[in-house]
Amino acid sequence: MTASRPGAAARLLAAASAARALYECGRILAAGRPQLTRTNYRGRQVDLLGGPAVGVTVVGGALLGTGLPGRVRAAAAVAAATAAAAGALDDALGSAAARGFRGHLSALRSGQLTTGAVKVLAIGAGGTTAGLLASRGPLARRLTAGAVVALSANLANLLDLRPGRVLKAAMLAGLPLAVSSESMAARRIATLALGTSAGLLGPDLRERTMLGDTGANCLGALLGVAAVTDASGRRIALTLGALAALTAASEVVSFSSVIDKNAVLRAIDRAGRCDAAR
C-alpha cells in the first residue's frame, strides 16, 4: 500500500485536473447558450456543464486508466456511461410532474412513460451489467452487486439539491474505499471518483454549475462499482441494505430537512457555499 501512494496521488490529481479542464473548456464552447443553463434553488442561473465534465472524465478514466482488470474497466465504463446518458436525457427532456420511484411507477400505471422511468430502467440495466462484471462468486451475489450500483446512482441524484452536496458526499463515501479497500481495482475506481469530485467542487460551491442528473447519476454509479468490486457477499449485502433504506426514506423524508436539523451534517453541507458565507 505504501509504495502505491505516489501513484494514487498522481491518479487523483489527473482526474481532478481533467474534470476541471473539461468543465472550463465546456464553458468557453457553450457561451451564450441559454438551453444549457438552469435556475438553482436560490433563483440563480447556473450552467449544466458540470455533468458532462463528470461523465467524460469518469468514462475516459475508466477506459484509459492503467492497471485495471478488463472486467472492472468494462464495469466502470458501462455503469458510468449508462447513468450519464440516462441522466442527460432526463436533464434535457424531464418534467417535474413525476418524482421518485413512486411517482414514475404511478405514471407508468396510467400509461405515461416518463424520462425518469426510462432513466430507472437504463440505470438498472447498466448497474446489473456492471455488477456481473465487477463482482465475483455466485450469480446471486453478482446480481446483488448490480442492485448496489443502480441504487448508488439513484441516491447520488437524490442528494444533488444544494451546491456541492453530492460532491462532498461522494468524497466522504469514496475516501474509505480509496484508502482501505482490499481490492486494488476498487481503490483505483474510488480514486477516480474522488479526483473528479475534487476538480468540480469549487465551481459547484460557487454556483457556477450544477451536476444535474448527468453528473450525479454517473458519479454515484462509479462509487457503486468501487463498492462491489471483488467485495465479499456480506459487504455487498450490507451496502445494498443501507442504500435501500436510504432510498425508501427519501420517499417520505426530505434529506435537506434532516441535514439542516443535524449540526454536524449542516456544517459539512454548508461549508464553502455562497449562501452560507453570506
pLDDT in tens, 146-157: 999 999 999 999
What average pLDDT does the segment 41-49 reach?
90
Residue 172: pLDDT over 70? yes
Longest dimension (CA), the chain: 58
Strand boundaries in the chain, DSSP class E: 37-39, 45-47
32: left (phi over 0), alpha (psi -120 to 50) or beta: left
Tell the residue number behind the cell numbers 451475489, with chain if given. 141
- Each domain of the chain, given as residue ranges in start order, spans 2-277
Provide Rg for the chain, Cα atoms. 18
Which of 36-40, 79-83, 97-101 is predicted with the least confidence, judged by mean pLDDT? 97-101
Query: Does the structure show a pLDDT above 90 at 228?
Result: yes
pLDDT of 38 = 86
pLDDT value at residue 111: 64
Q: Is 242 helix (H, G, I), strand (E, B) or coil?
A: helix
Confidence of residue 3 (pLDDT cuts 50, 70, 90): very low
CA distance linking residue 225 with residue 186, whole number of Å: 8
Give the pTM.
0.91
Region 104-116: mean pLDDT is 67
